[in-house]
């Protein structure tokens, strides 16, 4: 599903007037987050979607640069990408260290357990806000990198491995942060963009795992908005990517694939 249609969904959801039957609503509401119960919670071993992002060396773009500024724009985008990775990783480690150090602090004025609990919760809210701000600033750098790449118009450059690898890397990190923000429409949109970049990207299991999870979240949103048409659309897309994930991750001849296929066949 393409970009303009995906962003039409959000308005359709809140303007939708078709109602689900109470039976359908009750059945599905009682089974929220079902995809999470049968899928791995982290990317597979060796996946480029792991915790550590891939940095790309600044290299010539295969002598394909006919456009004067293509090389510089690629280098500038790569710099933004590397800076975003380093900025987030160092910031996250710093916040985690302060979080651990705070556990050792003793406040003698907190005489009761409820006082200690409130202080602990307030501290955690501070750390969560810091992580949120860190992600937001990291996303801003990633978007800047995307915009630099989008300004490259030379067709040969845009088909080259360095261009596609860099754009893929930026998209991966952007998607990870949007998932952390629970911006599922953004996850869906950019995961499709990621897969459209190359057949190699489409053949990775992780994008399909993320799409299955995100479509389930949108399915639940459609239920709450009483939009029957979108509910069934999201449900079918969820099942499609659930099967594709199982095919790539487990193999079509595996017991795991057969089990997931059976669930999908029962209108999971």
What is the spatial distance between Cα 39 and Cα 37, in angstroms, rounded to a whole number? 6
Query: Taking 70 as the threshold, does the pLDDT of residue 10 lie above it?
Result: no
Q: Is the pTM of this model over 0.85?
A: no
Report the C-alpha gap between 188 and 229 in whole angstroms.
18
* Lowest-pLDDT choice from 18-22, 135-139, 163-167: 18-22
Cβ burial, residue 92 (10 Å; 0-12/13-18/19+):
middle
Q: Output the average pLDDT for the chain.
A: 83
Closest CA to 176 of 74, 22, 42, 5: 42
The CA distance from 222 to 231, in Å, is: 5
- pLDDT of 109 > 90? The answer is no
Mean pLDDT of 220-229: 92
pLDDT for residue 108? 84
When mean pLDDT is compared across 99-108, 216-225, 230-239, the lowest value belongs to 99-108
Q: What is the pLDDT of residues 37-95, one digit of tens each?
A: 666 666 666 666 666 556 555 545 444 455 667 888 898 999 999 999 999 999 999 99
Model pLDDT, residue 16: 46
What is the mean pLDDT of the segment spanning 202-216? 95
Alpha-carbon distance of 104 to 125, in angstroms, equals 17
Could you read off the pLDDT of 120-158 as tens digits, one per residue? 999 999 999 999 999 999 999 999 999 999 999 888 888
Closest among 33, 46, 50, 27 to 212, alpha carbons compared: 33
Block residue for tokens 């209108």: 267
| Least trusted range by pLDDT, from 66-70, 187-191, 261-265 | 66-70
Q: What is the pLDDT of residue 18?
A: 44
Distance CA 162, CA 177 (A): 23
Sequence spans of domains, the chain:
1-47+204-268, 48-198
What b/e sequence results for 117-145 when a residue is b if at least 16 CB atoms lie within 10 Å of its CB, and e otherwise? eeeeeeeeeeeeebbeebbeebbebbebb
pLDDT at residue 105 in the model = 85
């Amino acid at each position: 599903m393409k970009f303009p249609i995906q962003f039409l969904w959000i308005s359709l959801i809140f303007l939708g007037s078709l109602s689900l039957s109470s039976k359908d609503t009750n059945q599905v509401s009682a089974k929220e987050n079902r995809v999470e119960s049968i899928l791995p919670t982290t990317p597979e071993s060796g996946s480029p979607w792991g915790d550590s992002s891939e940095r790309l060396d600044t290299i010539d773009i295969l002598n394909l640069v006919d456009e004067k500024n293509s090389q510089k724009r690629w280098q500038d985008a790569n710099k933004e990408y590397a800076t975003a990775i380093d900025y987030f990783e160092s910031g996250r480690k710093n916040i985690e260290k302060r979080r651990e150090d705070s556990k050792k602090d003793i406040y003698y004025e907190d005489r009761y357990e409820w006082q200690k609990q409130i202080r602990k919760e307030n501290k955690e809210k501070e750390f969560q806000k810091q992580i949120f701000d860190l992600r937001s600033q990291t996303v801003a750098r990633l978007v800047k990198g995307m915009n630099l790449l989008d300004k490259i118009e030379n067709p040969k450059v845009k088909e080259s491995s360095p261009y596609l690898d860099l754009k893929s890397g930026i998209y991966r990190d952007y998607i990870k942060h949007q998932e952390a923000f629970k911006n599922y429409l953004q996850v869906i949109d950019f995961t499709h963009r990621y897969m459209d970049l190359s057949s190699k990207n489409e053949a990775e299991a992780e994008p399909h795992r993320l799409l299955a999870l995100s479509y389930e979240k949108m399915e639940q949103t459609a239920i709450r908005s009483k939009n029957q048409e979108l509910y069934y659309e999201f449900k079918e897309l969820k099942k499609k990517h659930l099967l594709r994930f199982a095919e790539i991750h487990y193999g079509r001849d595996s017991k795991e694939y057969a089990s997931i296929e059976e669930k999908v066949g029962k209108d999971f």
